[in-house]
Amino acid sequence: MRRTTAERLAALLGPTPLTYPRYADLANRLRLLIIDGRLTHDTRLPGERDLAAALGSSRVTVASAYQRLRDEGHLVSRRGAGHDVVLPDAPIERALPDPFPRDGGVIGLSTAATAPPPQLASLLTGLTERLSALGQTSGYHPDGLPELRARLADSYTRRGLPTEPEQMIITNGALSALHLITRHLAHGRDRILLEETSYSNAIEGLRRQGFRPYGFALSDTGWDLDALRAGLADAATVTYVIADFHNPTGRMVGSAERAALGAVTRRSRTRLVIDETMLEVNLDGIAVPEPVACHDPTAITIGSASKSFWGGLRIGWIRAPRDLVRGLVETRSLLDLSSPILDQLLVSDMVGDPTAVLDHQRRVHRHRRDHLVRLLTERLPTWEFEVPPGGLSLWVTLPRPASGQLVVAAERRGVVLTAGPRFHTESGGDRHLRLPYVAEPETLTRAIDVLADVWPTVDTEISAQRTPRSRLSA
């Protein structure tokens, strides 16, 4: 059972004074925290007296708010045991949507996968001679092609994290890297700690491996470190975070929070895994802080060519402490033996001289991001979002908890999206929607036309759903 203190809950509720009737305003704020996943399933709320003191309010106000949440099914209270958050909705359907719809009339916005850069053809042509030189070998490199590992190690060193090629392992994408790491470090029903809002395929992949993923809340700027500490108290074997252009929120976590995270994980028994897949998708050219692994020498870092160069390049990598490399490679040999040589050669050339490809990809995605922002501002002005400085999607907050219904309505009209709850580790997310901007501008326009058309009907249906009213007043 996770607990939240009265002081922390008061901070989550915000500094704005409660409006009349105060119990109703407090209940509404608590409900939004639950819906958005800031208060997760089975979190124990503080007692009525403690929360009233932290809010400068009366105990009757808090008791009435808790009663309303009990009437709605968001809270369970047991005499002498406290008040526990519950998710009253039906269990979320976790089956993954088809990321590549085969119907030519369907608009697929369920994945943030990049198209190939124009330089791809010339780069492939230049590989012929080098590939023939490798033709006399088996082609198996369980730890990866030496020249690619060396170039990746150099890139980490230039960023302030000294790295040797022997610390690098090449994998078939970042998701395969995460599965390899957890398979090597964790067992059976081990608990894996993630940000409460995180990469949907990572959450689902861990669950399908038999692990128990659970979340800690994000703050407005990055990580809620108090929630992280509370999460680590539940004995997480692995902690997985995304610091650079976070998927799906697009946030960049600052240096101070990175240092604080490293200090926390160094003192715990967890193994920190940092996903840097979006690192090079820096659309606005902002300054990127030092790698998180600079603050925890036991940490493992994951990277990928898919988001920065091309989604069709299924090449990822692991940067690991030396003492873990051999075990990871041996575990990898039971999974897929090696990554394709041709793809590794191609990625090696891109990593060695990335400027032209990265400049092109960033320019394309910056244009498409700005186009999507304009469309939403004009067509769906009640939807809220922050324009991310990098990454490949917008994380939209809807006026109402309607993400699931909206996705269903859009799919009937040929637009495939991923509902917000899929990006939440345990509960919440139904006020959110991820909108990738990797498609052509014309395709994005067609998709937003559909969403703008179906949203009023969905909004009306949600508004019409009556919520049980509390019998108490305060």
Percent of residues, the chain, with pLDDT higher than 70? 92
Could you tell me the CATH number of the domain that includes residue 16? 1.10.10.10
pLDDT of 84 > 70? The answer is yes
The answer to whether residue 102 sits within a structural domain is no
The enclosing domain of 393 has a CATH number of 3.90.1150.10
Q: Are residues 425 and 341 in the same domain?
A: no
Residue 406 predicted with pLDDT over 80: yes
More confident residue, 125 or 309: 309
Residues 349 and 362 both lie in one domain: no
Q: For 220-279, how does the pLDDT look when each residue is reduced to its tens digit (9 = 90+)?
A: 878 989 889 989 988 899 999 999 999 999 999 999 999 999 999 999 999 999 999 999
Give the model's pLDDT for residue 95: 41
* 93 class by beta-carbon count within 10 Å (0-12 exposed, 13-18 middle, 19+ buried): exposed
Same domain? 380 vs 419: yes
Task: Please tell me whether residues 198 and 254 are part of one structural domain.
Answer: yes
Q: Which residues of 118-157 are buried (b: 16+ CB within 10 A; e: fewer)?
A: ebbeebeeebeeeeeebeeeeeebebbbebbbbbbbebbe
**294 pLDDT exceeds 90?**
yes
**Cis peptide preceding 117, ω within 30 of 0:** no
* Same structural domain, 338 and 238: yes
Q: Are residues 215 and 178 in the same domain?
A: yes
Instruction: Tell whether omega for the bond before 248 is within 30 degrees of 0, i.e. cis.
Output: yes
Q: 48 and 62 share a domain?
A: yes
- Domain span at residue 27? 2-85
Tokens of 173: 């994408």
Domain-located, residue 101: no
The answer to whether residues 375 and 439 touch, using CB atoms and an 8 Å cutoff, is no
pLDDT of 92 > 80? The answer is no
In a domain, 121, yes or no: no
Give residue 470's pLDDT band: very low, low, confident or very high (50, 70, 90). Answer: very low
* List of residues 6+ apart from 204 with CB closer than 8 A: 94, 96, 422
Look up the CATH number of the domain holding residue 331.
Answer: 3.40.640.10
Question: What pLDDT, on the 0 to 100 scale, is given for residue 94?
Answer: 39
Question: Based on the number of CB atoms within 10 Å of its own CB, is 1 exposed (0-12), middle (13-18) or buried (19 or more)?
Answer: exposed
pLDDT, the chain, mean: 88
pLDDT of 167 reads: 98
**44 φ/ψ angles, rounded to the nearest 5 degrees:** -90, 125
Residues 286 and 389 in one domain: no
Per-residue pLDDT, 91: 39
Overall average pLDDT of the 330-347 stretch: 90
Same domain, 333 and 447: no
Q: pLDDT band at 42, cuts 50/70/90? A: confident
pLDDT in tens, 204-213: 899 888 899 9
**Environment class of 443 (CB within 10 Å of its CB; exposed 0-12, middle 13-18, buried 19+):** middle
- Residue 346 has what pLDDT? 93
The kind and range of the H/E element at 202 are helix 200-208
| Whether residue 427 has pLDDT greater than 80 | no
Residue 13 belongs to a domain? yes
Res 102: pLDDT: 52
Look at the block and give the residue holding tokens 């067609």: 446
pLDDT of residue 82: 82
In a domain, residue 127? The reply is no
Is the per-residue pLDDT at 188 higher than 80?
yes
The reply to whether 269 and 214 lie within a common domain is: yes
How many folded domains does the chain comprise?
A: 3
Is the pLDDT reported for residue 93 higher than 70?
A: no
Distances (CA, A) of 389 to 245, 394, 436: 7, 10, 14
Same domain, 346 and 413: no
Taking 60 as the threshold, does the pLDDT of residue 89 lie above it?
Answer: no
Determine contact, residues 252/390, Cβ cutoff 8 Å.
Answer: yes
> 24: helix, coil or strand?
helix
The answer to whether residue 204 is domain-embedded is yes
Does the pLDDT at position 113 exceed 50? yes
144 and 233 share a domain?
yes
pLDDT for position 1 = 57
Tell me: the pLDDT tens digits for 65-82?
999 999 888 898 877 668
Q: What is the pLDDT of residue 39?
A: 81
Final residue before a domain boundary, out of 298, 321, 353: 353
Residue finishing a domain among 353, 380, 397: 353
**End residue of a domain, out of 327, 353, 379:** 353
Q: What is the pLDDT of residue 106?
A: 84
In a domain, 282, yes or no: yes
Give me Rg for the CA atoms of the chain.
24
* Predicted pLDDT of residue 472: 35
Task: Pick 109 or 376 by higher pLDDT.
Answer: 376
Q: Does 425 fall in a domain? A: yes
Q: How far apart are the first and last CA of the chain?
A: 30
pLDDT in tens, 358-377: 999 999 999 999 999 999 99
Distances (CA, A) of 88 to 63, 152, 406, 440: 20, 47, 19, 39
- Among 109-123, 183-197, 319-333, the range scoring the smallest mean pLDDT is 109-123
Q: Report d(CA 208, CA 227) in Å as an integer.
A: 25
Tens-digit pLDDT profile for residues 120-155: 888 888 787 777 767 667 778 899 999 999 999 999
Predicted local confidence at residue 382, as pLDDT: 97
